[in-house]
Amino acid sequence: MKQRLLFLGPPGAGKGTQAQLLAESQGLLHLSTGDLLRAEVQVGSELGRQAEAVMARGELVSDELVLAIVRSRLQQCSGGWLLDGFPRNLSQAEALDALLLELGQPIELVVLMELDDALLIQRLLSRGRSDDNEGVIRHRLTVYREQTTPLISHYRDLGLLQAVEAAGTVEEIAARITTLTKA
């Protein structure tokens, strides 16, 4: 079973749901930068204040902010982990590569969750989070296409990428991912 995983895919593909399930069943630390940022907004920290407006627009929070969050969590983590929502652009991916080299904890598998735009938008609209209105969703998909999709070839070139069809029931998709983690 792979111990250090990264989930990649557009907003609405179900990364959070699948990451949480897998992390629980395998005893991995689930690191979702989106969840961590929302928690900072909730408690009204300085970091949360900086992130709030950016997230509401569907833009990316600064690389420095998210990298600081990820670094502190990974430094404290002695077991396996699962990163969800990070990295989101090439400079974050390069910073992560450097951090993991420094920590001696290389990524073992990158799971790419793939789903059609129509289904993504449908799922996000039914979720109803504050940044899930149609205009912001379309913008998040554009940001994903422009900034995050270059990571697909980055990790494919490293021989780490496996794609999963993200349509179907939660259980069906979970089974597909579990198979990959055991390969």
Using CA atoms, how far apart are residues 170 and 125, in angstroms rounded to an integer?
18
Is the separation of the CB atoms in 18 and 173 below 8 Å? Answer: yes
Q: Which residue matches tokens 């070839």?
A: 153
CB of 99 to ligand ADP, least distance (A): 13
Work out whether 88 is an interface residue with ligand ADP (CB under 6 A): yes
Whole-angstrom distance, CA of residue 14 vs CA of residue 70: 21
Structure tokens at 5: 């995983």
Q: Which of 7, 19, 52, 58 binds ligand ADP (CB under 6 A)?
A: 58
Asked whether the beta carbons of 114 and 165 are under 8 A apart, the reply is yes
| Minimum distance, C-beta of residue 15 to ligand ADP, in the bound complex (Å) | 6
Q: How far is CA 76 from the centre of its chain?
A: 19
Binding residue for ligand ADP, selected from 23, 31, 85, 110, defined by CB under 6 A: 85
Q: Which of 8, 21, 28, 60 binds ligand ADP (CB under 6 A)?
A: 60
Asked whether position 14 contacts ligand ADP by CB under 6 A, the answer is no
Which one-letter DSSP state was computed for residue 11?
A: T
- Compare residues 33 and 181 and give the one whose CB is closer to ligand ADP: 33
Instruction: CB nearer to ligand ADP: give 143 or 161.
Output: 143
Interface residue with ligand ADP among 5, 19, 33, 83 (CB under 6 A) is 33
**163 alpha carbon, distance to own chain's centre:** 14
User: What three-state secondary structure class fits 136?
Assistant: helix
Measured from the CB of residue 131, what is the shortest distance to ligand ADP in angstroms? 6
Binding residues for ligand ADP, rule: CB under 6 A, are 11, 15, 33-34, 37, 54-55, 58-61, 66, 85-86, 88, 92, 140
